[in-house]
Amino acid sequence: MISRLFRYLTAQMSTLPTKKPIISIVGTTGVGKSQFSIELAKKINGEVINADSMQVYKGVDVIANKHPMQERDGIPHHIMDHVDWSEEYFIHRFNKEAHHAIEDIHLRGKVPIIVGGTHYYLQSLLFNNKTLEKKKERELTEAELGLLDGPTDILFQELKRIDPLVAEKFHPQDHRKLRRAVEIWYTTGQKPSDLYIEQKLDELEKSSLKYNTLVFWLYSEPQVLQDRLDKRVDKMMEIGAREEIDELYRYYAQNNGDSTSGIFQIIGFKEFLPWLENKKQNPEAFANGIDRMKIRTRQYAKYQVKWIQKTLQLELKKESKFNYVNGGRLFLLDATDLTHWKTNVCERAASKKDFQFSFMRATSSSIQKRQSSNPLNSALSTSSSSGTASSVKKKFEHSRQLSHSYRTRKVGSYQNTSKDTKITSNATGFEFLNDSPTKSKPQVIVNEKLSSSPRRHITQPIPGSSDVFQRLYTSKPKSNGMKPHANIPKPSNAEKVQTLAELYSILHRKDPMLFENTHYEAASDSMQTPLDVNTIALNSLNIYERGEILRKESLYYVPTTNERNINLKSYGNNFGFDDKEGNYIVIPNEHINYRFQILHSIGNGSFGNVILAKDHKFKRNNVVAIKIINNNFNSSIQSVNEIKMLKHMKGNQHENVLEFYEHFNFRSHICIVTEVLSLNLYSVLEITQFRGFSPDLVKQFAKQILNGLAYLHSLKIIHCDVKPENVMIKLPPHTQGKSIVVKLIDFGSSCFDDKMSFTYIQSRYYRAPEIILGANYDNKIDIWSLGCLMAELFTGSPLLAGKNEIDQIGLMLEIFGAPRSSTILKMRAKLTRSLLQSSKDMNLSLHRPNERQIKKTLLYKVFDLNGKINMSILNHYKSATNSTKKQFKLNSKNLEVCLGTGSSGLTSSKLFLSFLRRAFIWDPNDRASVSELLQDEFLK
C-alpha cells in the first residue's frame, strides 16, 4: 500500500498530461453546438466527431438537424451519415468508431471535437467505469454462512476480532454492514479497512477521464431557447422535413418498422404517425404533429440539461482531485443572445482553450509562431529554464516529505476518527473539492474599514456548485441552512438623524475619504496611447504574464513590481492567482487586464471582491469600481444574469440606478466595471448607530428609490432584492451638499416580468407575502420590499425580522391582520391556471411545481378551504420550527406602535404611516404601484 501511495505522490509531482487531448461541446438541442464546433475547429485545426445517435443515419438531414454541408467550411465530420435505416446503431459500435476516429485525428496532428446531444454516448466515450471489484478467492463454508446469518451481537464480536477499526465505525446492531464487512474478510482475505483505503487510493490515483478533456457547455436562457426551438421546427417544415417524414413512413410501412427502435426513434416521426396513418387527409392531425414535435423537442432539451446537472458536472467535479491534469474543466458559454455570439461564445472559448489547458499550450507550432513574430521572443527565451538534476532531486525530496506527511496523517486518523477515513488534506498541497455546501459570505460593496461590528447576513445564499442548475432551471434554490441576521440591530432610543447636513457630519467624522470626488469620463479624445511592448521591463512580469501579453492587443498599465508567486505547473488555485475559495487575490498597484490599476479593496462577499481602480486607458484621473466575480461555475452563472440586466439598461442610463461601463473576462474571473459609489444604506444605519432617520430625511431616500424602481418597471424588470445592502448613496465632494444621490445596485436576482425563472426570491426580512406563500408574483413584490426598507430607515431596525418563513408570516399577521379570504382564493386560482398553462406549453424556464408540491405551500397549509387563516396550525408549525413558546396572535400589534409614531402629532409622521400602509397590502392587485406612490402626499 505504501508503494501505491508513493506512486500516487510521485505522479502528482508532474503536471504534464499523459492522456491525449479532446474537446467536448455539450448543451441542449438548438443551442448552436454544430456551428460553434466548426468555428472552433477552424481556429485550432480540429475535426468534428458526431455524438448524436440520429445523425449517424443516412438521409434525414433536416429532421436530424445535420449541419448543412455548405456551411461546414470544409471541416471533416466523422461518424455521420453512414448507417442504413435497416440497422440499429448501438453504443458499443459508437465507442469503437469514435475511439478509432480520435486516434486517427491525433495521428494527423489535429484536435478531435466531440459534438452531439446523445449524452449517454458522450458519457461512455469520455469516462471510464471506476467501479472497483474484488474477486472472491474462495467460497464461504457452512460454518461461516451460519455465523453471517446468525445473531448480530456475535457478528459484531467477530468483526472486532478481524478488524477493530471498522468495528469501531459501525453500529453494533447494523447487521447488514457488519455482515458485509465480515464476508469481505472471509472471501478475499483482506481487511475491510485495507480495502477501503485501496478504494480511496484508486479514486485519487485514477482519473475517470479517458482523454485530456476540455468541456464547453453552450447554454441559452430557457425562455429564449423555447422560442428558438419552436421556430426551428417551423423552419424544418419549410425546408423539407415533411418530405423526409413521408419517405421514412413509406420505408416504415413496407418493412413493418418498430417505432421504438433505430431510425424511427427520431423526433419528428412518431409525432406525425396519426396523420400519416390517416393517409395525410386530416390537416388538424398534421398541425397536432407539429405541436407534439415542438413539445418533445422541449422535453428533450430539459432532459439534456438534467444530464449535465446530475451526471456530467458531478463526474467533472471529481477531476479537481487531480488539479485538472487530465482536463475535465467545464466552461459555460452564453449562447442566449445570438447578436453577441462572437463575444460570448467564440472569443471566450478561445481564451479558455489557449491558456488554461496544458494540452493546448503544449501543442506547439502556434505558440512558436507567435513567439517568433513578437519582439519579446528573445527575452522570453533567455528567461526560461529547463529541468536540471538538482530540480529533480528537489522534487524527489518534496515527494518523500509529502509521503511522510501522508503516513503520519493516516495513522492519526486511524487513532482518532470514528467516521469514514477521508484521505484529504491541505498539507499535501493538492486541491480536493469539498462536496459539502460551504457557508456564503454576505454581499457587501462598501469600504471595509467603515464597519467595526459583525455584518448581518440576509442575502439569499448562493447555491453550492451542485445547485447552480436549480437556480437556472428550477423553481427554488436549495438553502445552505445559514441563519440570516446574526446580529439584528435594536431600535435606538437616541434622537433620529433629522437632516441631511447632520447625516453628512456623522459620515464625515467616521471617514472623510467618503467625500472624495470620484469622476469618470471615457471620451474618445481623452484616450491614452497604448504602451509599446518593447518598453516593458520583463523583470516586472511573472512567467504567466509574459505569455499573457502576447495575446493582448493593447496595454495601458503594467506594474513595475511583481509580488505574486505563480506556478504554471500547478492548476491549483488558478496557478496562484486565487485563494482557496476561488476569490482573486487583490494586490494594490497590480493591474487588471493591463488597463486598470488596483488602488485597494472596497468590499467582498460570496460573489467575490470589489476593488477601487484607476482606468489608465484615459488621460483624466478616472476611478472605477470593479466587481471581480469568484472563479467558480456557480458565481459565473449569477454574474451572467446581472450583466444581462445591466446591458439591457445601459442604453438609457437612469440617475437612480448603478451606472455600468463594461465587463470582461480576466484570468477566469468575470469582471464588471461600474461607477464608484460611497456606501450602502445598511452601512449608513450602522455608522449612525441605528438611530433611524426623520420622516423628512426618509422622504429623500424614498423618492429616489421609487424613481429607480419606476425606471426598472418601465423596462419590465423586477429587481427582486430591494434591501438596505442593495441601495447605495453617492456623497458630494463636501459636507455642505444640499442633496444626495441614491442608486439601486445588484441585479443578480432580477428578472423580466414575463420571464420569471424563480419562484422563491428576495431576502427574508423584505420578502413579499406572495413569495412566502408560494403564489404567483409581479413587480409589486418590489413595493413590499420598499415598505420594509423605509420602515427600517425610520426606526433603524427591521420591521419584520422573522427567524424563518413561519415567523415571517406570523409577524405579518400580527401587524397587518389576516388577508381577505377572496385574496387567498384568488391567489390559488391564479397559481392553478399558471400550472395548467405551464404544463400545456412545457415552458422550460418556469418548471412550476406539480399539484402535490403546490398543496405543500403555505398558501394551502395555513389557510383553510375557504381561504381563512388557521392560527392554530400556524402556531403548531411555529412550535416545530422555533424554540420559543410564544404564540402568534392576530392583530396583536399595531404599525404605529412598531414604528413609534403613536404619540407623535407630526403631520409628516402621519403621512409616512399612510404611505407605508399603501405598500403593506396583502393583495398585490390592491397594493400601490410605483407611480401611485410617487404621487403620494408624503412625497410632496
pLDDT in tens, 86-117: 888 888 899 999 999 999 999 999 999 999 88
Does residue 5 have a pLDDT over 80?
A: no
Q: Which of the listed residues 674, 706, 723 is the one where a domain comes to its end?
A: 674
- Provide the pLDDT for residue 136: 59
Question: Among 326-335, 455-464, 590-599, 889-898, whose mean pLDDT is lowest?
Answer: 455-464
- Mean pLDDT throughout 31-37? 92
Does residue 761 have a pLDDT over 60?
A: yes
Asked whether residue 434 is assigned to any structural domain, the reply reads no
Beta bridge partners of 741: 730
- Provide the pLDDT for residue 677: 93
Phi, psi of 531, deg, nearest 5: -70, 145
The beta strands (E) that lie in 651-714 are given as 660-666, 669-674, 679-680
Question: Among 95-109, 230-244, 345-359, 492-506, whose mean pLDDT is lowest?
Answer: 345-359
Taking alpha carbons only, the member of 477, 834, 818 closest to residue 638 is 477
Looking at the fold, whether 639 and 688 belong to one and the same domain comes out as no
More confident residue, 430 or 549: 549
Looking at the fold, whether 352 and 239 belong to one and the same domain comes out as yes
Asked whether residue 845 is assigned to any structural domain, the reply reads yes
875-897: pLDDT as tens digits:
998 888 776 778 999 999 999 99
Does residue 504 have a pLDDT over 60?
A: yes
Question: If you search the block for the grid coordinates 519579446, which residue do you land on?
Answer: 376
- Provide the pLDDT for residue 18: 62
Of these ranges, 175-189, 471-485, 641-655, 818-832, the one predicted with the greatest mean pLDDT is 818-832
List all residues 6 or more positions away from 388 whose beta carbon is below 8 Å from its beta carbon. Answer: none
Q: Which of the listed residues 348, 364, 380 is the one where a domain comes to its end?
A: 364
Does residue 434 have a pLDDT over 60?
A: no
Does residue 359 have a pLDDT over 50?
A: no
Confidence of residue 10 (pLDDT cuts 50, 70, 90): very low
Hey, CA dihedral for 804, 810, 812, 818, is it positive or negative? positive
Q: Is 627 annotated as a binding residue?
A: yes
- Residue percentage of the chain with pLDDT more than 90: 41
Of these ranges, 124-128, 325-329, 756-760, the one predicted with the greatest mean pLDDT is 124-128
Question: If you search the block for the grid coordinates 485545426, which residue do you land on?
Answer: 45
Between CA 262 and CA 281 the distance in angstroms is 27
- Provide the pLDDT for residue 757: 62
Asked whether residue 635 is assigned to any structural domain, the reply reads yes
Range of the domain at 647: 519-674
- Provide the pLDDT for residue 340: 86
Question: Among 111-115, 489-493, 606-610, 811-815, whose mean pLDDT is lowest?
Answer: 489-493
Looking at the fold, whether 743 and 608 belong to one and the same domain comes out as no
What's 69's DSSP letter? G
Looking at the fold, whether 837 and 860 belong to one and the same domain comes out as yes
363-391: pLDDT as tens digits:
333 333 333 433 333 333 333 333 444 44
Confidence of residue 470 (pLDDT cuts 50, 70, 90): very low
Asked whether residue 437 is assigned to any structural domain, the reply reads no
Taking alpha carbons only, the member of 772, 741, 537, 555 closest to residue 657 is 741
HSE toward the beta carbon, residue 318, CA cutoff 13 A: 16
Does residue 203 have a pLDDT over 80?
A: no
Does residue 55 have a pLDDT over 90?
A: yes
- Provide the pLDDT for residue 343: 84
- Provide the pLDDT for residue 310: 81
- Mean pLDDT throughout 470-478? 34
Instruction: Write b or e for each residue in 395-407: b if 16 or more Cβ atoms lie within 10 A of its Cβ, otherwise e.
Output: eeeebeebbeebe
Question: Among 101-110, 144-153, 397-406, 781-790, whose mean pLDDT is lowest?
Answer: 397-406
Confidence of residue 905 (pLDDT cuts 50, 70, 90): low
Collapsed DSSP state (helix, strand, coil) of residue 42: helix
Does residue 467 have a pLDDT over 90?
A: no
- Provide the pLDDT for residue 291: 93
- Mean pLDDT throughout 401-422? 35
Looking at the fold, whether 714 and 854 belong to one and the same domain comes out as yes
Question: Among 35-44, 87-96, 274-283, 727-736, whose mean pLDDT is lowest?
Answer: 274-283
Asked whether the beta carbons of 688 and 498 are under 8 A apart, the reply is no
| Grid cell for residue 192 | 475491510
Confidence of residue 868 (pLDDT cuts 50, 70, 90): very high
Looking at the fold, whether 664 and 717 belong to one and the same domain comes out as no
| Grid cell for residue 385 | 529554464
- Mean pLDDT throughout 698-706? 97
Looking at the fold, whether 421 and 524 belong to one and the same domain comes out as no
Structurally, how many domains does the chain consist of?
5
Looking at the fold, whether 728 and 822 belong to one and the same domain comes out as yes
Between CA 50 and CA 66 the distance in angstroms is 10
Taking alpha carbons only, the member of 711, 709, 693, 725 closest to residue 790 is 693
How many other C-beta atoms can be found within 10 angstroms of the C-beta atom of residue 526?
Answer: 12
Q: Which of the listed residues 205, 237, 260 is the one where a domain comes to its end?
A: 205
Task: Sheet containing 327-334: give its strands across.
Answer: 77-78, 46-50, 111-115, 21-27, 212-219, 327-334
Asked whether the beta carbons of 709 and 930 are under 8 A apart, the reply is yes
Looking at the fold, whether 502 and 539 belong to one and the same domain comes out as no
Residue type, 388: T
- Mean pLDDT throughout 748-774? 87
> 244 vs 64, 236, 266, CA distance in Å?
10, 10, 12
- Mean pLDDT throughout 304-333? 77
- Provide the pLDDT for residue 569: 67
Between CA 862 and CA 856 the distance in angstroms is 10
Asked whether residue 935 is assigned to any structural domain, the reply reads yes
Looking at the fold, whether 683 and 658 belong to one and the same domain comes out as no
Does residue 133 have a pLDDT over 70?
A: no
CATH code for the domain in which residue 659 is found = 1.10.510.10
Asked whether the beta carbons of 190 and 134 are under 8 A apart, the reply is yes
Between CA 607 and CA 629 the distance in angstroms is 6
CA angle 598, 604, 606 (to 5 degrees): 135
CATH code for the domain in which residue 242 is found = 3.40.50.300
Does residue 47 have a pLDDT over 90?
A: yes
Does residue 451 have a pLDDT over 60?
A: no
Asked whether residue 371 is assigned to any structural domain, the reply reads no
- Mean pLDDT throughout 320-345? 78
Asked whether residue 552 is assigned to any structural domain, the reply reads yes
Asked whether the beta carbons of 779 and 674 are under 8 A apart, the reply is no
Asked whether the beta carbons of 376 and 546 are under 8 A apart, the reply is yes
Helix (H) or strand (E) holding 114: strand 111-115
528-548: pLDDT as tens digits:
889 888 778 777 788 788 878
Asked whether residue 1 is assigned to any structural domain, the reply reads no
Looking at the fold, whether 705 and 849 belong to one and the same domain comes out as yes
Asked whether the beta carbons of 869 and 781 are under 8 A apart, the reply is no
Looking at the fold, whether 835 and 856 belong to one and the same domain comes out as yes
- Provide the pLDDT for residue 411: 33
CATH code for the domain in which residue 152 is found = 1.10.20.140
- Residue percentage of the chain with pLDDT more than 70: 75
> 250 vs 247, 258, 276, CA distance in Å?
5, 13, 10
What's the mean per-residue pLDDT of the chain? 78
- Provide the pLDDT for residue 198: 56
Does residue 167 have a pLDDT over 80?
A: yes
Taking alpha carbons only, the member of 225, 228, 238 closest to residue 62 is 238
pTM: 0.55
